[in-house]
Amino acid sequence: MSQFELDPTATSTPPEEIARALADPGFGRYFTDHMASATYTPDAGWHRLVIEQTKPFEMHPSAGVLHYGQEIFEGLKAYRRADDSVWLFRPRKNAVRFAASAERLSMAPLPPDLFVDAVTSLVDLDRAWVPAPAKEQSLYIRPFEIASETFLGVRESHEYKFTVIASPVGPYYPDPVWLWATPTFTRAASGGTGAAKCGGNYAASLIAAGEAKQHACDQVLWLDGAEHRWVEECGTMNILFITRDGELITPDLRGTILDGVTRDSLLKLAPHHGLRPVERQIGIHEVATRIASGEICEVLACGTAAVVVPVLGIRRPGATLDAHDITLPVADATPGPKTMAMRGHLLDIQYGRADDPFGWTVRV
């Protein structure tokens, strides 16, 4: 039984219009009819839990989020199966990460049960917006929390607003990607907010995405903030390396990268594909050397929006200031077989085409 009061709109989108949106949803272009929301105040805790028509916010221009950036968010998906049932993938992991992000940003943490309740109830009400399983489409769900108190002064807000919106989507990166190992910018430092999913991390990353484009790359490959030496993650994805001797290596979690749900899922699926999961620091020099020798035979990036994306190569600047970029094509720049097998396996679990021995999928 949901704790959210349902206040459905009297003017839902007509089915023909939903069908038009679902025919070619793109990413984040269309939004469903409803949103879930909750308000936090110190006296009442989380209250005013409601699912109602998606509509603009009204807030005072001094609201904390607009000045001091207290904002966190999540991203997860609902999948329609061939039998028309609708399922979420590991929503509790997102809920727990959301509460951890709130703690890091000194915000009121939302209890994970309420998070899962909000997401489930919203998807249930807007299930007409969940695309058919063809073409890897799904309903992307965006829970977020903002500081809503009216005040100025650098301190944490005492009031917060939690909201969930949803958008039908196709694949985020339809094609394999090239990565740019930026020598200029860093995403996170030890003791910073790298492990939190907060808007500020993404605002600070956009300039590096521009630099990646200038070097004909699709995404940034972040290196550590202290030495620009250790591989961390991509702009919106974690990164993994497959070696000829059967290791699936990914940077370990030391507070500077996101603890990705997809990353964790691939580490757990690895043994089913003859791979040993290894979480450890890996340097860009090791990556370059072992790609060149063929010991690293596949590179992949992963995230909820992007699923699993083959990395075709990594570009990084030369050792001297005016040296040309060094291009490191991975295994003849073709998507690797293990990458594609793990990608297919994950999607098959998400769409209910394969067994789910881990109990990751949750029916709406």
Ligand X SMILES: Cc1ncc(COP(=O)(O)O)c(C=O)c1O
Burial degree of 356 (CB within 10 A; 0-12, 13-18, 19+): middle
SS (H, E, C) 148-217: CCECCCCCCCCCEEEEEEEEEECCCCCCCEEEEECCCCCCCCCCCCCCCCEHHHHHHHHHHHHHHHHCCC
Start-end of H helices in the chain: 15-23, 64-68, 91-104, 112-125, 199-214, 261-269, 284-292, 337-350
237 contacts ligand X (rule: CB under 6 A):
yes
Based on CB atoms, which residue is closest to ligand X, 63 or 282? 282
Based on CB atoms, which residue is closest to ligand X, 30 or 140? 140
Does an H or E element contain 301, and which?
A: strand 296-303
Neighbours of 206 (CB within 10 A): 11
Q: How far is the CB of 258 from ligand X (least distance, A)?
A: 4
Q: How far is the CB of 307 from ligand X (least distance, A)?
A: 9
Query: Of the ranges 149-157, 235-243, 309-317, 331-339, which one interacts with ligand X (CB under 6 A)?
Result: 235-243
274-333 binders of ligand X (CB under 6 A)? 303-304
Closest CA to 221 of 316, 89, 156: 316
Based on CB atoms, which residue is closest to ligand X, 34 or 263? 263
Based on CB atoms, which residue is closest to ligand X, 125 or 248? 248
Based on CB atoms, which residue is closest to ligand X, 70 or 236? 236
Q: What is the DSSP letter of 331?
A: G
Based on CB atoms, which residue is closest to ligand X, 75 or 255? 75
**Interface residue with ligand X, options 2, 50, 67, 75 (CB under 6 A):** 75
**Interface residue with ligand X, options 224, 233, 247, 298 (CB under 6 A):** 233
262 contacts ligand X (rule: CB under 6 A):
yes
- Lay out the site mask for ligand X across 112-151 (x = CB under 6 A, - = otherwise): ----------------------------------------
The two tokens of residue 30 are: 């269309």
The two tokens of residue 73 are: 């968010």
33-72 binders of ligand X (CB under 6 A)? none
258 contacts ligand X (rule: CB under 6 A):
yes
Q: Does residue 293 sit in helix, strand or coil?
A: coil
- Please give the residue ranges that form the binding site for ligand X (CB under 6 A): 75, 233, 236-238, 258, 260-263, 303-304
